[in-house]
Amino acid sequence: MKILHIDSSPLADASVSRLLTKSIVTALTAAHPGQEVTYLDLAETPPPHLTGELMQVVKFRNLDALNPSQREELARTDALVDQFLAADIVVIGAPMYNFSLPTQLKAWIDRVSQAGRTFRYTETGPVGLAGGRKVIIASARGGLYAGMPYEAALDHQEAYLRAVLGFWGVTDIAVIRAEGVAMGPEARAKALAAAEREIATLVATLG
């Protein structure tokens, strides 16, 4: 079994989402020894954001007369898609920044969302091509949003990830959430303890 471990927070050791992804992957490998883990740090090596020029290459795959930098970007994109599709379990560290995602994670999504590889268009609408893998989202939030009246209006983090993954055909999605982590040391500790319990339960259910 292959695990793809993705971090996107630029906060290094201060990052809650990084703590969660590390705990999840550690628990998975302890429960199932011998798994192959590939690590991708999007804060350390972020894919460049799409520009008009890059979209012609990596989204529309205009392959005529590519210059060296364009060929490099196309190779980078193909490698990220290959990496995602090769994984049986994908663990994504996704902190909430201003009700959304870190831009580094959005840049990765823009690369992996590839017509003909992770989805395709048909006469009846888009069809996901990337099912058959499990995605675990390690969600970190400074405030409290889950179950709150304004959650639907402000959550462009977990909701967006679920929407994109569903568009790719991924339906086996689990969320390990630690929220309220900016509301003081006690709230942070409580959130992390609850997340650790959820991780243990999740890994146990994977058999």
The angle that helices 16-31 and 185-205 make with each other, rounded to 10 degrees, is 30
Name the band, by pLDDT with cuts 50, 70 and 90, for residue 99. very high
Annotated binding site: 9, 15-17, 96-99
Q: Residue 5 forms beta bridges with which residues? A: 39, 91
Task: Report pLDDT for 69.
Answer: 85
Q: Is the pLDDT of residue 59 over 80?
A: no
Segments making up each domain of the chain, as ranges = 2-205
Q: The pTM is what?
A: 0.94
- Is the pLDDT at 17 greater than 80? The verdict is yes
- Comparing 21-30, 44-53, 180-189, the range with the smallest average pLDDT is 44-53
For 62-92, the pLDDT digits (tens) are 677 788 888 888 899 999 999 999 999 999 9
How would DSSP label each residue in 118-173?
TEEEETTEEEE---SSEEEEEEEESS--TT-TTHHHH--SHHHHHHHHHHTT--EE
**Binding-site residues for FMN:** 9, 15-17, 96-99
Domain 2-205: top CATH class:
alpha beta
Q: What is the DSSP letter of 57?
A: I
Confidence class for position 135, pLDDT limits 50, 70, 90: very high
13 burial type by CB count under 10 A (0-12 exposed, 13-18 middle, 19+ buried): exposed
CB atoms within 10 A of CB 58: 24
